[in-house]
Structure 1
Amino acid sequence: MNNMPKTKIGIVAVSRDCFPESLSVTRREALIKAYKEKYDPEDIYECPVCIVESEIHMVQALEDIKKAGCDALVVYLGNFGPEISETLLAKHFDGPKMFVAAAEESGDNLLDGRGDAYCGMLNASYNLKLRNIKAYIPEYPVGTAEECADMIHEFLPIARTVKALSELKIISFGPRPLNFLACNAPIKPLYDLGIEIEENSELDLFEAFNQHEGDERIPAIIKEMEEELGAGNKKPEILSKLAQYELTLKDWIRDHKGYRKYVTIAGKCWPAFQTQFGFVPCYVNSRLAAQGIPVSCEVDIYGALSEFIGTVVSQDAVTLLDINNSVPADMYNEEIKDNYDYTQKDTFMGFHCGNTAKSKLSFCEMKYQKIMARTLPEEVTQGTLEGDIAPGDITFFRLQSTADTKLRAYVAQGEILPVATRSFGSIGVFAIPEMGRFYRHVLIEKNFPHHGAVAFGHFGKTLYEVFKYIGVDVDEIGFNQPKNMLYKTENPFS
């Protein structure tokens, strides 16, 4: 996956001039040592130029970490710290930043060895707010060298995602299908996030597709597809067109990304796509997602953005699914009730036509799109990758704009159960604690569309912090609240 940055964090220690500078020096050295012993040493850069005590030191440190190629910053309060210089450093650094502070080491060293960084963090946070500077501050931002190393490692995917969004272009094709307002949302918040968007007609895409007919690269892509599908290659006659389409999208990205470094796509797949292109694009979408270029269905721009965020956070393939249907009572009673600690209302099925990467499926077959084939010739609906999604931990989430251009989001952790779906498409039986209440008081109440992004693993903590950092109000970040925590709109007598 190369559709995301390799983040390098510059560690700059600070010191208030009336405190021993040696405290910040030795604590910084211990922090760097702890990080490199536990994590990838290439993640971080130790600024050796100075301990920042003044505005002049701030400029020197800023120049040094820029020269070293750092695209994220950690301001480390080895002691109380100079509130003006340290926050100016954050102000003038162009990239995500974090503040963290050193804990005291020993009760036997509380005279000249006391740093008061616990107090200094309060002044730092006040000054950051005073100057309207966004910075990540961990839940408990004071710790030992080892604890601070862990906090910095938790900051890494947050920084990587914030940086990636500032260099992202979303490419969309076609207006949303008729009677499909669900994923419609204003694009103004994208520009506010620093994201570029290129909106195209599906006619532009069709022209580019036709220009790739007979492309000499098609046989190599077909071979890749045949090897990937194996015995699941049930529609070999469609692979040539799918390969042609994949090359069309990749060449479009190459030719249209412009000055942006990263790209995601919001594509169209109906109602005219099948009859004109002669296939559905689901399998190609799944392949691009596996390569770190998520493609949303049905021109879902915020779905594509959500998928991209999940890809960068998890550094793994994600998928976009409909929060689709309830689990029937007989199926729940037979296979879930006595085997898992979930109520029926905690469970649901996540589904889409066939866009989930093969690596995330328990089994797969290249098939036709059953829903579309109800009204169209089956041969033009071929191209889905069907199979039950592999069981394991998941995070369901989405970033969305409201009609009046306010950002809101949700994050919910759960799992996919090892229960056969007995259905079609890319589909799984999902279980999220208190899903029924979450469905009613977040998804419905906050007017979220039916598409949700799925990351394979538990990434709720990181996603929540990403949404906070990019400016989503905490009151607008929904999550699956436990039973003893009522939603604002929940009837207390129910």
Structure 2
Amino acid sequence: MDHKVVIGYAPTRRRIFSVEDALKYKKIIRDKLSELEIEFVDIEDINEEGLLRCAEDVEPVIEKFRAAKVDALFIPHCNFGSEHSCGKVARALNVPVLLWGPRDEAPLEDGSRLRDTQCGLFATGKVLRRMQVPFTYIPNCNVGDPQFEEGVRNFVAAANVVKEFRRARILQIATRPTDFWTMICNEGELLEKFGIQLFPITMVEFTERVKELAASKNEEVDKTVSLIHEKMKVCIPEEDVRKVAALKTAMKLFAVENGCNAVAIQCWDALQQALHMMPCCANALLTEEGIPVACETDIHGAVTSIMTMAAGMGKTPSFFVDWSVRHPSNPNGELLQHCGPWPLSLAKSTPVLGRPFAFPEHCPGSVSAEIKGGPISLFRFDGDNGEYGMLMGNAKGIEGPYTNGTYLWVEVPNWPKVESMIVKGPYVHHAVGIHGNLLPVMLEALTYIKGVRPDFYDEEQERKTRNFYFE
């Protein structure tokens, strides 16, 4: 993922209010976007003012933004604005829309007003609803207020989630493990409802390429071998280190060649029969590079990983987890773990490249490391019987006993509720974690993803998240 979001910047005005003030605020807002390092395309060449004013501006603005392939639309009201023009542009582009305007000054001494921006926001909001255009709204405030910056950054991250979700194409390496019925998904429904594509390859195709890469003098494999020795305590034979590097390189090549932004791999047990290897470390390395990998051919987990990593905007990687066992002494504590697919940069200390405890083959390739704690966001996109939701909530890292694999003990506000929501579904024991509070980003992204309901596991977190722009 490149986490590049291009905004269509379409400042708007109405003719009966001050042109001078509209032009002044167009520049102030533009400069603020540049200061925040937001990439945008403006409409300076559409007319002499560079403002969306009336019906004759609509088609040129639409054409320019389509040609630029903008990922989102920002229509700041520099005075009252042209609500019908805003609605037409927004509906035509079908991208996330940000509605906001700078706070009005006091009336002049003669009682006249220059902008009436707030009133225009009321009008445009109604038009967008009439045209069934979902949109994000930052309450009327000053450009320099923290609320504006927080709102814009949150919107850009949400737009990144929508962009990556809409282009989701998952490299599926083999079928799900035979006994893992929890990993059943409806490929046709994912395509029909959301446009999510799967690109399946067989384990034979995959392992043959791994063998070729391991036996060759491939530069990517060589670099990965060096990285493993630099970042890890290696407790497996050198020939197996090269196989790990070849596994990671093969997954990356298949993903890049076929335009995939995530991978779901049958990590057990066909791979062990074919290569006598575990893919955990390879999964960790590729996820670190921005192509998330889900274990056990978990397609819904791969979708969750795409959305979660996009929400993080590349500031920290996501990690694919099992909800596993309850904490031995904390009633709201739970173990998050897996056999080693978590990015190495998250580890508290040097990760160990070794063998898993849970599988009878004890093949090399797993990773052991406790990761850093702090605030964590946890997500799970899932569905059955034609209905889909996003389980979401915060947790915090806590102390707990040592265990194998990559792991973190966390505390949630009310564990019995989380447990019941997973058991009753449509969710399963897999989730995706990421450091920080990204609930506001994910909730805003779901505004634009029809057919996926937000499903919070804590009422207080839900209240705060839904009031992100208003508190």
**TM-score, normalization by structure 2:** 0.88
Deviation at 1:420, TM superposition (A): 4.5
1:370-449 pair list within 5 angstroms: 370-373=357-360, 376=361, 378=362, 381-404=363-386, 406-417=387-398, 419-440=399-420, 442-449=421-428
Partner of residue 157, structure 1: 157
Matching residue's letter, 1:207: E
Is the contact between residue 289 and residue 295 of structure 1 (CA under 8 Å) also seen in structure 2?
yes
CA RMSD, 1 decimal? 2.4
Partner of residue 492, structure 1: none
1:461 aligns with 2:440: yes
Matching residue's letter, 2:256: R
For residue 443 of structure 2, give the secondary structure of its aligned residue in structure 1. helix
Contiguous gaps of at least 5 residues in structure 2: 464-471
1:60 aligns with 2:60: yes
Out of 40, 46, 49, the position equivalent to 1:44 is: 40
For residue 459 of structure 2, give the secondary structure of its aligned residue in structure 1. coil
Q: Deviations over 1:179-221 (max 9, x none)?
A: 2121322232345333322123323323333343412114343
For residue 362 of structure 1, give the secondary structure of its aligned residue in structure 2. coil
Structure 1 pair 110–157 and aligned structure 2 pair: CA distance change class (3 A): farther
Structure 1 pair 85–61 and aligned structure 2 pair: CA distance change class (3 A): same
Is the contact between residue 354 and residue 367 of structure 2 (CA under 8 Å) also seen in structure 1?
yes
Partner of residue 83, structure 1: 83
Distance in 1 (alpha carbons) for counterparts of 2:110 and 2:281 = 63
Structure 1 pair 67–113 and aligned structure 2 pair: CA distance change class (3 A): farther
Is the contact between residue 391 and residue 415 of structure 1 (CA under 8 Å) also seen in structure 2?
yes
Structure 1 pair 73–294 and aligned structure 2 pair: CA distance change class (3 A): same
Partner of residue 26, structure 2: 28
Deviation at 1:281, TM superposition (A): 0.1
Partner of residue 477, structure 1: 455
Structure 1 pair 124–420 and aligned structure 2 pair: CA distance change class (3 A): same
Deviation at 1:109, TM superposition (A): 6.9
Deviation at 1:430, TM superposition (A): 0.5
Deviates more, 1:236-245 or 1:125-134: 125-134
Distance in 1 (alpha carbons) for counterparts of 2:429 and 2:110 = 57
Partner of residue 344, structure 2: 358
**TM-score, normalization by structure 1:** 0.84
1:160-179 pair list within 5 angstroms: 160-179=160-179
Out of 247, 255, 262, the position equivalent to 1:245 is: 247
Distance in 2 (alpha carbons) for counterparts of 1:131 and 1:355 = 44
Deviation at 1:451, TM superposition (A): 0.3
Is the contact between residue 265 and residue 304 of structure 1 (CA under 8 Å) also seen in structure 2?
yes
Distance in 2 (alpha carbons) for counterparts of 1:192 and 1:350 = 31
Contiguous gaps of at least 5 residues in structure 1: 330-343, 486-494
Is the contact between residue 394 and residue 458 of structure 1 (CA under 8 Å) also seen in structure 2?
yes
Structure 1 pair 448–68 and aligned structure 2 pair: CA distance change class (3 A): closer
Distance in 2 (alpha carbons) for counterparts of 1:80 and 1:46 = 19
Q: Deviations over 1:108-129 (max 9, x none)?
A: 5794335333333333233223
Is the contact between residue 193 and residue 451 of structure 2 (CA under 8 Å) also seen in structure 1?
no
Partner of residue 466, structure 2: none
For residue 261 of structure 2, give the secondary structure of its aligned residue in structure 1. strand
Out of 208, 221, 224, the position equivalent to 1:221 is: 224
Partner of residue 272, structure 2: 274
Matching residue's letter, 1:125: G
Distance in 2 (alpha carbons) for counterparts of 1:355 and 1:102 = 46
Distance in 1 (alpha carbons) for counterparts of 2:256 and 2:52 = 43
> How many positions carry a matched residue from both structures?
450
